[in-house]
Amino acid sequence: MKTAKLVLEGKEHELPVVVGSEGEVGIDIAKLRQATGAITLDDGYGNTGSCKSAITFIDGEKGILRYRGYDIDDLVRGGCRFSEVAYLLLYGELPNQRETEAWRYQLTHHSLLHEDMKKFFEGFPSSAHPMAILSAMVASLSTYYLEGENQEEVNIIRLLAKAKTIAAFSYKKSIGQPFVYPLNHLSYPANFLRMMFAVPTEPYEVNPIFEKALNQLLILHADHEQNCSASTVRMVGSSGANLFASIAAGVGALWGPLHGGANQAVIEMLEQIQADGGNTKKFVDMAKKKDSGFRLMGFGHRVYKNHDPRCRILKETVGKVLEQLGAKDPLLDIAKDLEQAALSDPYFIERKLYPNVDFYSGLIYRAMGIPTSMFTVMFALGRLPGWIAQWKEERTTAGARIHRPRQIYTGRTQRKFVPLAERP
Ligand code: ACO
């Protein structure tokens, strides 16, 4: 198949067809308007490819997710570190031993914040949502680290290294505890956990169960091709905006409850079900009623129409973490019940609505003692290498143009201007 044919007002137009490395087919409409005067309309972009990308592959029908060709299961179960996956996403290959050491050195030795930046935290109210702080602080990095020749790579490292420090400081600020500085010999997840939970008055050992689980969570969130936040990052980057400004915009996009904010919303929903007596069927029924304004949070996905492979792994992990801790979480039982009730309901079956990555992730964060308000920040930390890889790809694609969609205008047609004094 080389071309597609479009007949518009009786006239036939040939459109080139692009086939991806996994056989995905796209009709190239780049010259459509020039040739026909018409544009395509795809509200929500469900059928629109915004770019060609070599980073992440998803087959939503089969439940496949691969970073640079590697299955997510293999990366997680093969004992990969999050820092290696970040390298993979950014540079296309898994690092060898020497590259791993150099990379990890960079990621730790850039993790301190400029001391002046600590003062920014004083200005935020203690009730500030940590996503607001994260976005503001990431944008603020552009005031310290300018774009310039040979600055792009070091700025990428600075951002990756400092994001976890910013995230942990935003939590410390919210509970009024002193900031804990990073330690260079620790892994990315261990360093973050220590900055979150250590206090200067007593020793702190990172629990290896949490370190392993967090490493896994970060890997599972690391990229997801052209989702809302990654597309935002690419859109902002396409105007030539710097790395920090583009990523700060991505943080904003992720915050929404239909995207990364769903992990916080899931726990709030499970708590609501628990407080209501635990009747999951009642909530499944409510989610089916369009006028209820209620949706099952952590359910459904634009791309996955079978299962979300990340959710399958996380469901296993939450069970293991709680078992290893010898702990129980009544919300896990409610979540499993809810999943069961939804998956056997024709409404969810017909619409192919399955639990997504956000459904179980919050229960693992809870077991670690991470507060609900920080959940979406955890997502952002994981997604950061993906956003940066997407930004970099956008910026280095030959012939890439500013992202500027069109519209079908439905407003008033031209009318005569009426001066203020003459308006009725
Ligand atoms: N609960 C109840 N009904 C749902 C749900 C849900 N969680 N999700 C979708 N539906 C229904 C819709 O009402 C719609 O029904 P209809 O065909 O009768 O009108 C149908 O399923 C298709 O849903 P859309 O909203 O058109 O699907 P879309 O691809 O636009 O949205 C989304 C996907 C945003 C994830 C949606 O499923 C949702 O709101 N889920 C809950 C929020 C959530 O978990 N978000 C996290 C997604 S994963 C991520 O971003 C990391």
pLDDT band at 63 (very low <50, low <70, confident <90, very high): very high
The pick from 251, 259, 295 for probing ligand 1's pocket by mutation, whose C-beta has the most ligand atoms within 8 angstroms, reads: 295
The ligand 1 atom nearest the CA atom of 44: 30
pLDDT band at 1 (very low <50, low <70, confident <90, very high): low
- Supply the DSSP string of 68-127, one letter for each residue: TTEEHHHHHHTT--HHHHHHHHHHSS---HHHHHHHHHHHHHT-SPPHHHHHHHHHS-TT
The ligand 1 atom nearest the CA atom of 301: 35
Asked if residue 383 has its Cβ within 6 Å of ligand 1, the reply is no
The ligand 1 atom nearest the CA atom of 300: 37
Question: What's the token pair of residue 6?
Answer: 């479009």
Share of the chain above pLDDT 70, in %: 100
Does residue 150 carry a pLDDT above 90?
no
Long-range pairs for 116-124 at CB < 8 Å and ≥24 separation?
Answer: 117/144, 118/169, 118/179, 121/169, 121/170, 121/173, 121/179, 124/170, 124/173
Asked if residue 356 has its Cβ within 6 Å of ligand 1, the reply is yes
Q: What is the pLDDT of residues 217-236, one digit of tens each?
A: 999 999 999 999 999 999 99
Whether 301 is catalytic is yes
Whether 109 is catalytic is no
Please give the model's pTM, rounded to 2 decimal places: 0.95
Average pLDDT score over residue span 136-158: 94
Q: What is the pLDDT of residues 79-128, one digit of tens each?
A: 999 999 999 999 999 999 999 999 999 999 999 999 999 999 999 998 99
Q: What is the pLDDT of residues 350-408, one digit of tens each?
A: 999 999 999 999 999 999 999 999 999 999 999 999 999 999 999 999 999 999 999 99
- In the numeric block, the tokens 């040939």 are attached to 14
Q: How far apart are CA 208 and CA 189, in angstroms?
A: 10
From the candidates 301, 308, 329, 333, which is the catalytic residue? Answer: 301
CA-derived radius of gyration, the chain: 23
| Mean pLDDT, the chain, whole residue set | 96
Q: Which helix (H) or strand (E) holds 389?
A: helix 375-396
Average pLDDT score over residue span 22-48: 96
Q: What is the pLDDT of residues 322-361, one digit of tens each?
A: 999 999 999 999 999 999 999 999 999 999 999 999 999 9
State the distance from the centre of ligand 1 to the C-alpha of 300, rounded, in angstroms: 5
Residue 330's pLDDT is 96
Closest residue by Cα to atom 39, ligand 1, is 258
Asked if residue 262 has its Cβ within 6 Å of ligand 1, the reply is yes
State the distance from the centre of ligand 1 to the C-alpha of 344, rounded, in angstroms: 17
Average pLDDT score over residue span 166-186: 95
